[in-house]
Amino acid sequence: MSYPEKKAIVSTLAGIAVLVAYCIYVNGKVKAGEAASDDLKFWAGSMLLFIVIGIAASIVIQIIFHILLSVSITVREQVQTGKSDNKQIERKIAVEMVEDEMNKLVELKSMRIGYIVAGFGLVAALIYARLGFPLAVMMNIMFISFCAGSLLDGISQLYFYRRGVTHG
């Protein structure tokens, strides 16, 4: 499995973890009677909190992933060659992490899928609001559709790396 595939898996798993954590958190608060459906302050606060957690988790996980990848390349190189040539190891790490036109095309295409999902979620949220549902429902639809868009972005990246990608 290549570096961009591993990266896509890691960010997708991080996204799933944050979404699950959000669901558990708000479900607990609602069950405990600490949050009402018209308490927009609570919902906005919870969503902002999990957006921040998501960004922080993503940065930390990517850093840990890069460190582990570099360590695994170094160990593999030392086992294979029996020596520790720093320049050679640095070159191998750089080669493993190179991003080229195919990576950019895959990113663009999968990002488009993510935006389409988020866009549909936004429209669905507005329809729900127009139909008279509580604003908390609208906000949750928006938040979850943006999370789903982000997850689909990662999943479609994996799909394009496995099945191939074409221009146009």
Partner 1 sequence: MGKKNYEITNNIRTLRFFAGEMTQQQLAEKIGASRQTIIAIEAGKYSPSLDLAFRIADAFERSIGEVFEYKIIKE
Select 3 or 128, whichever has its Cβ closest to partner 1: 3
How many residues bind partner 1 (CB under 8 A)? The answer is 17
Token pair of 49 as six digits = 């909190």
Q: Which residues contact 119 (CB under 8 A, 6 or more apart)?
A: none
Under the binding rule (CB under 8 A), the answer on residue 95 touching partner 1 is yes
Under the binding rule (CB under 8 A), the answer on residue 80 touching partner 1 is no
Token pair of 156 as six digits = 């479609």
Amino acid at 55: I
Asked if residues 92 and 77 have their Cβ atoms less than 8 Å apart, the reply is yes
- Choose one: 33-41, 115-123, 127-135, 160-168; the region binding partner 1 (CB under 8 A): 160-168
Q: Which residues contact 144 (CB under 8 A, 6 or more apart)?
A: 19, 121
- Choose one: 1-9, 16-24, 27-35, 41-49; the region binding partner 1 (CB under 8 A): 1-9
Select 6 or 29, whichever has its Cβ closest to partner 1: 6
Query: Cα 127 to chain center, whole Å?
Result: 27
Under the binding rule (CB under 8 A), the answer on residue 100 touching partner 1 is yes
Positions that interact with partner 1 (CB under 8 A) = 2-5, 95, 98-103, 161, 163-167
